[in-house]
Structure 1
Amino acid sequence: MSFTSDVKRQICQESVDRAQGRAQLCALLQMRASLLMNNQGMSLTIGTENAAIAKHIFQLMKTLYEVEPQISVIKKMQLRKNNVYQIRVYTKAAMILEDLDILTDTGLHYKPSSAMIRSEKRARAYLQGCFLAGGSINDPKTTNYHMEMTVPYEDLAKSIQKLMVRFYLPAKIIKRKNNYVVYIKAGDKIADFLRLCNASQALFQFEDSRIQRDFYNQITRLDNCELANEMKSMKAAQKQLKYIQVLEENIQKVKISEKLQHVIDMRKKFPEASLNELCEECYKEYGDIITKSGMKHRLHKIKELAEPFMEEENA
């Protein structure tokens, strides 16, 4: 089972009261339903490839409106041979749409009414319905953090975005073919969305994967930083050894103090040592207490003494 399917299954398993059920069903119908009108009256059809969602819609219809929806299963014969579950309502279709504020005297409405999402409880339930209808979340173990909901209408997409911002979820919208996609990429905000949906098990799984992933990323960054510092230190040490070689070749022409000679000896003995390590070795060998900045200053002095001889060679 995919991570998205697991989240949707958990949402469907959550018990809801009448207000929450209405909000969820309103979102599901506005996102996925089609309306048919003929001589026999009005009928609603909503399709999904998820069996748990089909069962959830069936139960909501039956519980809220005492109707007996018909369910049919269509087998796809194309690339992905998933079953498509179609739920049809032939009785009370108009009454259901009117109760959900989708059908009013002014016609059909493709976004939720203010009354439908006024309370926090109903607003959360509406977002749950939107995710059931068109949502997906990348598996945090394998890919980048990404949660999205595919929406058929621009006004509905903007309403969902506004509703998510109400819960401090900074969603964005892009157009993809004939649909609109409301999405979030920040891992902590996706976790907040899972919390909003009451998908506790999925939230724990997501947070566990996120913590491990962020930890390994941090370790990698530290390793890269340490490697870069080591490369930088090695490059500097090679230059210092070159300056020392030049001074030793011209030892009769230059006066080297005892303290500088200590540093020269330790650098030759420990060519890959860092500045702090050179300070420790000088103390062990000569009892010479020197700070990192002091070691830096002495190495710079060696460079200054060697450069004139190097310039003569290059002249």
Structure 2
Amino acid sequence: MSFTSDVKGEICLDALDIYEAKAQLCALMQVKATLHMNWQGMYVAFQMENAGIIKHIYGLVKRLYHVEGRLSVLKKMQLKKNNIYRLQIYEKASEILDDLMILNETGLHSAPPYKWTRSEKNARAYLQGCFLASGSINSPKTTNYHCEITTSNEQLAAGIQKVMERFFLPARLIERKNVYVVYIKAGDKIADFLRLCNASNALFAFEDNRIQRDFYNQLTRLDNCEVANEMKTFKAAKEQIECIRILEENAAKLTIPEKITRVMEVRKRHPEASVNELCDEVYKEFGETISKSGMKHRLSKIRTLAAPWRTMDEKKD
């Protein structure tokens, strides 16, 4: 099973009161249901590959309106050839749509009904229904965090986005292949969404993988930083040793202060040492205490003294 299926399975097990159940069913119908007319009259149909969600919708309709829906199974003949589960609701279809505030005298309502999103608990159940209908979340083991809900209606998508923003979920809205996608990319906000949906087990799995991945990423960054610092130190030390060689070759033409000479001796004996380590070596060999900034100043002085001869060498080359 996919991570999305695990999340949806948990949402289906969440205990709902009658108003939360209606809010969730309203979202499921607005996002996923289709409205039909035939010789028998009006009916509502759901069609999904997830048998658990179809069973959940069947249970909600039976619990709330004491209606038995018609269940059927279709077989895909292309690609994965998965089963498609269909639920058709003929009895009381108009009454159900009216009670859920989806259909009235003025027609179909595309936006989330205020009645089912006014309170926090109903709004939470409404978002659960939206996710059950057409939501998905990338596995936390993948490289990118992504949670989305899709719908064919732009007004409904904008309404879902606003409901999510009420819970401080910074959702974005885009159009993709003739559908509207409300999505979240931040890992911590996806965790908040799972918490909002009462998908505790999925939340723990998501957070565990997220923490582990972030930890390893941090270790990698630290390792890369350490390698970069070592390379920088090695390059600087190589340049300093070259400057020391030039100064020693031209020692007769120069007057080099004793403090600089000490640093030159220590650097030659410890070509891979860092600035701090050079400070320690100067203290061990000469008993002189020198700060990190002082050591950097002396190393800079070595480069300055050698600069004229380095320039001449470069011109010869």
Q: CA deviation at 1:262?
A: 1.5
Partner Cα distance (2:305, 2:158) in 1: 70
Partner Cα distance (1:124, 1:248) in 2: 77
| Aligned match of 2:99 | 99
| Aligned match of 1:282 | 282
- Provide, for residues 171-223 of structure 1, a one-character-per-residue CA deviation record: whole Å limited to 9, x for no partner: 00110111100000001110100000000000111111111111111111111
TM-score, normalization: structure 2? 0.97
DSSP 3-state at the match of 1:175: strand
DSSP 3-state at the match of 1:85: strand
- Partner letter of residue 155 of structure 2? D
Give RMSD over aligned pairs.
1.1
Aligned pairs, how many?
A: 315
1:158 maps to 2:144: no
Q: CA deviation at 1:40?
A: 1.6
- Partner letter of residue 235 of structure 1? K
- Counterparts of 1:30-179 in structure 2 under 5 Å? 30-179=30-179
Q: CA deviation at 1:85?
A: 0.8
| Aligned match of 2:25 | 25
Q: Is the 8 A contact 1:101 1:112 kept in 2?
A: no
Moved more, 191-200 or 216-225: 216-225
| Aligned match of 1:270 | 270
DSSP 3-state at the match of 1:22: helix
Q: CA deviation at 1:112?
A: 2.0
Q: CA deviation at 1:140?
A: 1.0
Q: Is the 8 A contact 1:3 1:139 kept in 2?
A: yes
- Provide, for residues 13-60 of structure 1, a one-character-per-residue CA deviation record: whole Å limited to 9, x for no partner: 111111011011111111111111123211111011111101100100
What percentage of aligned pairs have identical amino acids? 63
Q: Is the 8 A contact 1:47 1:85 kept in 2?
A: yes
| Aligned match of 1:186 | 186
1:301/1:143 CA distance change after superposition, 3 Å: closer
- Partner letter of residue 178 of structure 1? N
Partner Cα distance (2:312, 2:111) in 1: 82
1:311/1:34 CA distance change after superposition, 3 Å: closer
Partner Cα distance (1:114, 1:271) in 2: 73
- Partner letter of residue 225 of structure 1? C
- Partner letter of residue 35 of structure 2? L
Q: CA deviation at 1:258?
A: 2.3
TM-score, normalization: structure 1? 0.97
Instruction: List alignment gaps of at least 5 residues for structure 2.
Output: none
Moved more, 267-276 or 224-233: 224-233
Moved more, 152-161 or 107-116: 107-116
- Partner letter of residue 307 of structure 1? A
Partner Cα distance (1:312, 1:190) in 2: 62
